[in-house]
Amino acid sequence: MEVICLFFFAMRRIYLDQNATTPLAPEALAAMLPFLSGGYEGRFGNPSSLHADGRDAQAAVDDARVRLAALLGGHPRDLIFTGGGTEADNLAVIGLARARVRAGSQRHVITSQIEHHAVLHAADFLERHEGFRVTRLPVDGRGIIDPEALRGALTGGTALVSLQSANNETGTIQPIGELAALCRENGVPFHSDTVQSFGKQPVRVDTPGAPDAISLAAHKFYGPKGTGALWVRPGLKPDAILFGGAQEGERRPGTESPALLAGMATAAELAVNALPTETPRLAALRDRLWMGIAAHFPAAARNGAWETPALQLANTLNVSFPGVDGETLLIHCDLEGLSVSGGSACMAGSQQPSHVLLAMGRTLETARASLRFSLGKGTDEADIDAALERLAKIFARLKP
Question: HSE on the CB side for 120, CA within 13 Å?
Answer: 12
Q: Which residues pair with 165 in a beta bridge?
A: none
Question: Beta 133-137 vs 108-112: how paired, if at all?
Answer: parallel
d(CA 110, CA 357): 20
d(CA 198, CA 217): 9
- From residue 104, how far is each of 18, 124, 159, 196 by CA, in Å? 42, 21, 9, 33
In the DSSP assignment, the letter for residue 46 is -
DSSP notation for 220-266: GTTS-TT-EEEEE-TT--PPPSS-S--HHHHTS-S---HHHHHHHHH
Give the catalytic positions in this structure.
Answer: 346
Q: How far apart are the first and last CA of the chain?
A: 28
Q: Which of 2-11's residues contact partners 24+ apart within 8 Å by CB, and which partners?
A: 8/335, 8/337, 11/336, 11/337
Q: Which residue from 223, 234, 161, 211 is spatially nearest to 377, judged by alpha carbons?
A: 223
Q: Which residues pair with 136 in a beta bridge?
A: 111
